[in-house]
Structure 1
């Protein structure tokens, strides 16, 4: 059994989403689907109720920072009570394109973390060109979770781990010249990592130019095992154990 801890396998992102989910089920791959807005949150809930290998993470992405209302927060608050929801995500900060709405991004991120505290749920965090602010916000809250597609330094990873966070490792670990992630991987213990695909985004090197799918998590596992000089089955066992512990999964 493998747990893809971060993907977007729903029709808003992939036309053949349910075929991909069924294929994952046939191959004993569990999926944590991450919503980012009203539409995707609703679809994630629907799919989690339909497929035994699908688990729901709901949240509002940084792209909604300038439009979110109190009613929107109340809606998500109610949705988080659903028994199939195991995390608040995908949430976080992204200053790659602009920092002009930095304050509203942080405000939305804070509101998501307050909901996570209220419902005692872990969080799945996106952080791009905003690592220090992400850390500063997280340390103000009583939450644990994962840093999706972590691309920061080894030193910062260790600081996040002290807060109770795991580092999400996906397709970029296989990309040529990704020395920072490889270095980080070797400097933290494997007990602090999760595997993910971010499907349909961030395909591994072997599938560049194609939509990513959960099946490609095998390339991620293979690369991690190679870099750490470990058996692939041990990587699967350890990362699955990590995911079960963080997201309180009982299977």
Structure 2
């Protein structure tokens, strides 16, 4: 078994989502589907209720910051009571795409963390060009979780680990020009790593130009193994146990 700890395999993101979910099950791949808004959260809940290899993470991402209402927050609060939900995610900050609504992003992020505390759930955090603000907010909450597709420094990664977070490694580790991530991975204990595809995004080097799926997770575990001088089987075993521990799977 291997766990893809972050993907978006549902109808609003891809037409053949269920086909991919069923294929992943054949290969022993469990999926943590991440919602980002009310529509995708509904998709995730519906699929997690029908497929044994699917787990639900529900949240509102920065892309929903300008639209989120108190009614939306109440809806999510109720959805998080479902037994199929194992995390609050995808949530977080992104100053790469826009800085115009930084305050709204932070406000929504805070509300997501408060819901995670209320329901005693781990969080799955997106942070791009906002690493310090992300850290400063997280340290004020009693939460643990995953730093999704982490692309920061090893030094900052260690600070997140001290807060109780795992470091999510995705397709960019395989990209020829991304030496930064490969350097970072060598400085992070594998006991604090998770593997993820972010499907249908962030295809590994071997599948550049194609839609990414969870079946490509083998390229990520293979590259981690290569960088750390371990067998791929060891990488799969350790990261799977990490995910099971964090998400109580």
TM-score by length of 1: 0.99
Matches within 5 A, 1:164-179: 164-179=164-179
Aligned to 2:232: 232
1:133-187 per-residue CA deviation (whole Å, 9 max, x = no partner) reads 0000100100000000000001000000000000100100000121111111111
Match of 2:16 in 1: 16
Per-residue deviation, 1:80: 0.1
Distance 2:245 2:180 in 1: 27
Partner of 1:215: 215
Local SS of the residue matching 2:161 = helix
Runs (5+) with no aligned partner, structure 1: none
Distance (whole Å) between structure 1 residues aligned to residue 11 and residue 65 of structure 2:
23
| Deviation (angstroms), 1:129 | 0.5
TM-score (norm 2): 0.99
Aligned to 1:152: 152
Instruction: Tell me what 1:66 maps to.
Output: 66
Show the counterpart of 2:199: 199
Q: Distance in 2 between matches of 1:178 and 1:64?
A: 29
Indicate the SS of the match to 2:116: helix
Alignment correspondent of 1:37? 37
1:87 aligned onto 2:87:
yes
Tell me the CA shift for residue 67 of structure 1.
1.6
| Count of residues in Structure 1 that have an aligned counterpart in Structure 2 | 249
Q: What SS does the aligned partner of 2:186 have?
A: helix
What do you get for the CA RMSD once the two structures are aligned? Answer: 0.5
Report deviation, 1:66: 1.4
Aligned to 2:163: 163
Please say if 1:101 is aligned against 2:101.
yes
Secondary structure of 1:124 counterpart: strand
Gaps of 5+ in 2: none
Q: Which runs of at least 4 in structure 1 moved beyond 4 Å after TM superposition?
A: none
